[in-house]
Structure 1
């Protein structure tokens, strides 16, 4: 049962854990894009810009979303685009396996933070790979992979 005593965990989950999961996901896209020689831009959140350091931009509503924009791939094939789109979910999966392994090994203790981290990571994997377009027409990673192989094109915006 959810009570007022649980509010601090709610805030922790949405203002710390979820942004960390978002960063892990987007880091997958960033590293894969860089591996294939792309120039990237990474944005965490939406709204007014709080600060910008190099290619990293953090917005006021940092907990809402994140995206990686890439261009000028050195290796520009359907497969490289698909790997870049898939890399976010692969990083989330790797993070789940690492966290669970560290708990199993006794390095991390069972804690609600890790439960939430894994829960949000699974959520990210599912909804990133589920093919759909957002209200403003942006493709999910799964939709972008589908578009790359069906139409031979991709958007350079990753969610």
Structure 2
């Protein structure tokens, strides 16, 4: 049952945890773009830009949405693009294993924050791997892979 005492969990989840999980996800995509010799621009949030640090732009509504724009991949193959699209969910999964490993080894204490971190990471991975179009021009990661394999390219206009 949800009560007023649970409100802090909701606030932390929306304004800290989900943005952190989103950044981890986007770093997964960026990592594989970098591995295959491409350049990427990471945009966190929507609305007017607040500031930029190198290829990272933080926007006013930082907790809602994020995307990578990449271009000119040096080793541009179908396998490379599949790994780029899978990079986000892979990093989310890896982050769960790292957190659980640190807790199991005693480096970090068990805390509800880490439970919610794992829970929302799985949630994020589910929707990234569910083949759907969030809008006309925004496929999920698995839908981008489907488009790539079926049409030889992604229909993602952010590339």
TM more than 0.5:
yes
Structure 2: give runs of 5+ residues left out of the alignment: none
Contact in 1 for aligned 2:36/2:75 (Cα 8 Å)? yes
How far residue 42 of structure 1 moved from its aligned partner, in angstroms, is: 0.2
Aligned length: 158
The SS at the match of 2:131 is: coil
The aligned counterpart of 1:80 is 80
The aligned counterpart of 2:100 is 100
The aligned counterpart of 1:133 is 133
- Write the distance in 2 (CA, Å) between the matches of 1:42 and 1:157: 11
The SS at the match of 1:40 is: strand
The aligned counterpart of 1:157 is 158
CA RMSD of aligned residues (A): 1.3
The aligned counterpart of 1:40 is 40
Distance 1:116 1:19, change over 3 A: same
- Write the distance in 2 (CA, Å) between the matches of 1:52 and 1:107: 33
Which one is further off, 99-108 or 42-51? 99-108
How far residue 108 of structure 1 moved from its aligned partner, in angstroms, is: 1.4
The aligned counterpart of 1:16 is 16
Distance 1:156 1:69, change over 3 A: farther
- Write the distance in 2 (CA, Å) between the matches of 1:11 and 1:66: 19
Which one is further off, 140-149 or 130-139? 130-139
Taking structure 2 as the reference length, what is the TM-score of the superposition?
Answer: 0.94
- Write the distance in 1 (CA, Å) between the matches of 2:128 and 2:109: 29
Deviations 1:29-62 (A, max 9, x none): 0010011111111000111111112211001111
Taking structure 1 as the reference length, what is the TM-score of the superposition?
Answer: 0.94
